[in-house]
Chain A
């Protein structure tokens, strides 16, 4: 799993490249939390365009990051999840609190 950040004028984008499961969870959590701590923008985008697999571990991670972002007044967004990831996000009701962006 590779986690990359990019800073834009209006958003911080964190891109997950690989598979998000229990094995990669700790690494992802640590990297994303670092990006959240440094984030000075009002929007934080989870770029899932290169995320090939995610199980329910990802739901827990997203909910935890959502709480951190909300506490800092930053709006989280999800970008380009594949069909498998999208299905799990939908089932868990994640889109009720984190919207998709295009």
Chain B
């Protein structure tokens, strides 16, 4: 049985805390370990921040789409924007790469997402937007 969550939310960075907490709360019935919950919050925060800051350049009138699906112990999270897109996804995913070094950005977002999740797929088109799809097998606390 699939359990799904769909959310469309304004690209306002003030929503970051709500978005990551909501996704984490949605996964709670699976009884993941505390470590797992923290990882989920981190990757959602990274993906949402990317959409707001890079995709939309902080234009709060834009929207970010979130989709979360739990099937068995398999978790899928999709964060999607219709923003400026990424010209070179491979380059963007390299550790410490950032297009905004003057804003003290670490360039670690995609690295954290890749490390904390089992799989990550980024599809992007310049001028059209970016879609980040992440998957992870949730470890139940009682089995950890």
Contacts and interface: CB of A to CB of B under 8 A. Distances in A.
Interface residues of B, number: 24
A56 B106 contact: yes
A83 B115 CA distance: 16
Interface stretch (B11-19, B62-70, B80-88, B124-132): B11-19
A92 interface: yes
B112 A60 contact: no
A73 interface: no
Contacts of A22: 13, 16, 49, 52-53
Interface of B: 13-14, 16-17, 20, 34-35, 38, 41-42, 45-46, 49, 52-53, 103-106, 108-109, 111-112, 115
A57 B106 contact: yes
A59 B49 contact: no
| Interface of chain A, main secondary structure | helix
A17 interface: no
Interface of A: 19, 21-23, 29, 53, 55-57, 59-61, 63-64, 83-84, 87-88, 91-92
B106 A23 contact: no
A84 B41 CA distance: 10
Nearest to B113: A56
A55 B35 contact: no
A38 B108 CA distance: 30
